[in-house]
Amino acid sequence: MTKPVSGAHLAAMMRDARQRTLELLDGLDAEQLIGPKLPIVNPMQWEIGHVAWFHEFFILRRIYGCAPMLDNGDDLYDSIAIAHDVRWDLPLLPMDETRAYMARVLERLTERLDDGPANATDSFNYRFTTFHEDMHCEAYTWTRQTLGYPTPRFAGGEDHRKVKGAAGALPGDVGIPGGVFLMGSPPDAPFLFDNEKWAHPVTVGPFRMARAPVTNAEFAEFVADGGYDKQGLWCEDGWNWRRETGAEHPVYWVPEGAGSWRVRRFDEIHDLAPHEPVAHVNWYEADAWCRWAGRRLPTEAEWELAATTTPESPRGLLEKRRYPWGGDALAARHANLDGYRLGCADVAAYPDGDSAYGCRQMVGNVWEWTADTFGPYPGFSPDAYKEYSRMLFGETRALRGGAWISRGRMVTPTYRNYFGPERRDVFAGFRTCAV
């Protein structure tokens, strides 16, 4: 299922993910590493231990039969068995012991690898557990944003920082003729998660899609027009959420009189950039904006077709590409990924990443909500981490594309993310289709 890669590549990837984890701990004191008990974050001191335990459990113990490295590791760090609310109350290891455990696990894993090709089992599991750490690094970042902690600092990434960001707006739609394409990932994909199994033919009718995500300026018009107070713009669950929370604008926007806004980014207040995509809006807010604007969210199938296919259709199927821009490997000029910008770019930035139809930033900048509830593809079967996807089927909404903090080694246009429709902490925005 997964193409073999070298042991040197796997080890370098793991070390890079661990460096990012440690960078996201920098500047935080003991109180901040525990933090308040909230339903949308974990105590970071628990979460970093969980990530190390996950590496150990899924490779060293489950595959190679090694003895546990901690006597009580399962009782502390098994996220399936340990309820979210009790994670603040566990007898967690002190930070120096937690860091030492993390280092021991990493050393044990990397010393098993040599520079030559890894076998198929290691090629999949080392990447899967590293991508799991990458996902948690994204979660650490939104935890720092949610709690107003200092802005993180990431080493490297000079090529990313040189890409022009203040590129303005990108209004208008592109026409997409639709057709039949293979949605999902085939067995010979370089890597895939279980919810991408397997590629299957889907027919999509013609549609028109926005060239870019909805911007802060466009969303501000909805706020100014009283969109949060108009019940007819909201689905029933969304209106109930709106009444319960009292939300009147995106969660980190700060009013500054006469309809002007600023925005909190980590522990700092900045001017609201009008042409950046609106971020930290939930599915309900995106859906309400669409009703106000006479638009709609794309389906997952429409989104993936727009991001991956070309108008050519050999054998009756639309030709599909690995990335929106084609088969070229991801480079800094293509997309705002990997966190080095420490925020979004304008929606007109990164023209080199356009899809065949002219849609921009379908990878990177912000996750994009789709219309669909997250569910299995036909013939779905779980991989070794059986709880990865199936526990959330039917309970969450599907997002696509990755955000500025997502790791480029993991995100492709077939990658499916999923969160509850009420979640505003995720680095999520949306693009729309014509009704």
Q: Which residues contact 215 (CB under 8 A, 6 or more apart)?
A: 169, 274, 275, 276, 277, 278, 347
Q: In 178-228, where does DSSP find H-type helix?
A: 216-224
Give 80-139 as a 3 state SS string. Answer: CCCCHHHCCCCCCCCHHHHHHHHHHHHHHHHHCCCCCECCHHHHHHHHHHHHHHHHHHHH
- Round to whole Å and give the CA distance between 29 and 13: 28
Residue 258 confidence class, pLDDT cut points 50, 70, 90? confident
413 located within any domain: yes
Task: Assess contact for 363 and 354: CB atoms under 8 A.
Answer: no
Backbone φ, ψ for residue 95 (5° rounding):
-60, -40
* pLDDT for residue 280 is more than 90: yes
pLDDT of amino acid 271: 96
Closest CA to 344 of 247, 258, 265: 265
| In a shared domain, residues 126 and 181 | no
Domain of 244 in residue numbering reads as 156-435
Residues facing 268 on adjacent strands: 265
316 torsion bin: left (phi>0), alpha (psi -120 to 50), beta (else):
left
CATH at 311 = 3.90.1580.10
273 located within any domain: yes
Among 98, 121, 146, identify where a domain stops.
146
Query: CA of 317: how far to CAs of 142, 166, 356, in Å?
Result: 39, 38, 15
Residue 262 confidence class, pLDDT cut points 50, 70, 90? very high
| In a shared domain, residues 190 and 298 | yes
2 located within any domain: no
- Round to whole Å and give the CA distance between 357 and 190: 25
| In a shared domain, residues 117 and 95 | yes
- Round to whole Å and give the CA distance between 31 and 43: 10
Q: Which two tokens stand for residue 332?
A: 């800094």
114 located within any domain: yes
Instruction: Summarize pLDDT for 376-393 with one digit per residue, the tens.
Output: 999 999 998 999 999 999
pLDDT of amino acid 4: 85
β strands within 190-233, DSSP E? 200-204, 207-210
DSSP state at residue 157: -
The end-to-end CA distance of the chain, in Å, is 39
Instruction: Summarize pLDDT for 338-365 with one digit per residue, the tens.
Output: 999 999 999 999 999 999 999 999 999 9
Q: Which residues of 232-253 are buried (b: 16+ CB within 10 A; e: fewer)?
A: ebbeeebbebbeeeebebbbbb
| In a shared domain, residues 132 and 173 | no
139 located within any domain: yes
| In a shared domain, residues 39 and 107 | yes
- Calculate the CA 237 to chain-centre distance: 24
| In a shared domain, residues 411 and 348 | yes
Q: Which two tokens stand for residue 250?
A: 């995106």
* pLDDT for residue 51 is more than 80: yes
Strand 367-373 and strand 428-429: the pairing is: parallel
Among 146, 181, 207, identify where a domain stops.
146
75 located within any domain: yes
Residue 1 confidence class, pLDDT cut points 50, 70, 90? low
* pLDDT for residue 60 is more than 60: yes
| Best-predicted range by mean pLDDT (159-173, 245-259, 310-324) | 245-259
- Round to whole Å and give the CA distance between 435 and 431: 13
Instruction: Summarize pLDDT for 188-213 with one digit per residue, the tens.
Output: 999 999 999 999 999 999 999 999 99
| In a shared domain, residues 180 and 100 | no
| In a shared domain, residues 431 and 307 | yes
pLDDT of amino acid 58: 96
1 located within any domain: no
Residue 160 confidence class, pLDDT cut points 50, 70, 90? confident
Residues facing 261 on adjacent strands: 255
- Round to whole Å and give the CA distance between 355 and 212: 11
Q: What is the mean pLDDT of residues 254-276?
A: 95
Backbone φ, ψ for residue 231 (5° rounding):
-60, -35
Backbone φ, ψ for residue 417 (5° rounding):
-105, 165
Q: Which two tokens stand for residue 297?
A: 């969210």
Q: How many domains does the chain have?
A: 2
| In a shared domain, residues 142 and 167 | no
Among 86, 118, 146, identify where a domain stops.
146
Task: Assess contact for 127 and 10: CB atoms under 8 A.
Answer: yes
pLDDT of amino acid 2: 67
- Calculate the CA 169 to chain-centre distance: 23
Mean of the per-residue pLDDT values of the chain: 96
- Round to whole Å and give the CA distance between 33 and 43: 6
Task: Assess contact for 335 and 247: CB atoms under 8 A.
Answer: no
- Round to whole Å and give the CA distance between 191 and 189: 5
| In a shared domain, residues 115 and 168 | no
151 located within any domain: no
| In a shared domain, residues 66 and 86 | yes
* pLDDT for residue 165 is more than 80: no
Query: CA of 389: how far to CAs of 164, 251, 374, 383, 386, in Å?
Result: 36, 28, 9, 9, 7
CATH at 111 = 1.20.120.450
Q: Which residues of 340-365 are buried (b: 16+ CB within 10 A; e: fewer)?
A: bbbbbbbbbbbeebbbbbbbbbbbbb
Residue 323 confidence class, pLDDT cut points 50, 70, 90? very high
Q: What is the mean pLDDT of residues 415-428?
A: 98
Residue 158 confidence class, pLDDT cut points 50, 70, 90? confident
Q: What is the mean pLDDT of residues 154-180?
A: 89
| In a shared domain, residues 111 and 236 | no
